[in-house]
Amino acid sequence: MRPASRLVSSLFFFLSYSNILHHLQAQPSTQGFTCPANQRSFPCQTYAFYRASAPNFLDLASIGDLFSVSRLMISKPSNISSPTSPLIPNQPLFVPLSCSCNTINISTSISSANITYTIKEGNTFYIVSTKYFQNLTTYQSVELFNPTLIPELLDIGVEVIFPIFCKCPHQTQLQNKVNYLVSYVFQPSDNLSSVASTFGVETQSIVDVNGNNIQPYDTIFVPVYQLPQLAQPTDRALKVNRIGT
Ligand X SMILES: *[C@@H]1O[C@H](CO)[C@@H](O)[C@H](O)[C@H]1NC(C)=O
* Binding residues vs ligand X (CB under 6 A): 31, 79, 81, 100, 102, 104-108, 114, 130-131, 134-135, 144-145, 161, 191, 193-194, 217, 229, 231-232
User: Toward ligand X, which CB reaches closer, 68 or 172?
Assistant: 68
Give the residue with the Cβ less far from ligand X, 52 or 144: 144
Burial of 164 (0-12, 13-18, 19+ CB in 10 A): buried
Task: Please provide the DSSP assignment of 198-209 as one string.
Answer: HHT--HHHHHHH
CB 63 within 8 A of CB 114: no
Task: Give how far Cα 65 sits from Cα of 24, 73, 227, Å.
Answer: 36, 12, 22
Residue from 103, 107, 91, 149 nearest 125 by CA? 149
Closest-CB residue for ligand X? Answer: 229
Task: CB nearer to ligand X: give 10 or 194.
Answer: 194
CB of 191 to ligand X, least distance (A): 4
Q: Which is nearer to ligand X, 1 or 228 (CB)?
A: 228
Q: Give the nearer residue to ligand X in terms of CB position, either 12 or 126.
A: 126
CB of 175 to ligand X, least distance (A): 26
From the CB of 194, what's the least distance to ligand X, in Å? 4
As a whole number of angstroms, the distance between CA 224 and CA 202 comes to: 10
Amino acid residing at 156: I
d(CA 128, CA 143): 13
Please choose, from the candidates 181, 210, 168, 219, the residue with its C-alpha nearest in 3D space to the C-alpha of residue 26.
Answer: 210
Q: How far apart are CA 180 and CA 227, in angstroms?
A: 8
CB of 231 to ligand X, least distance (A): 4
Closest approach of Cβ 132 to ligand X, in Å?
8
Please identify, using beta-carbon distances, which residue of 90 and 245 lies nearer to ligand X.
Answer: 90
For the CB of residue 121, give the shortest distance to ligand X in the complex, in Å: 20
**CA nearest neighbour of 69 among 26, 7, 113:** 113
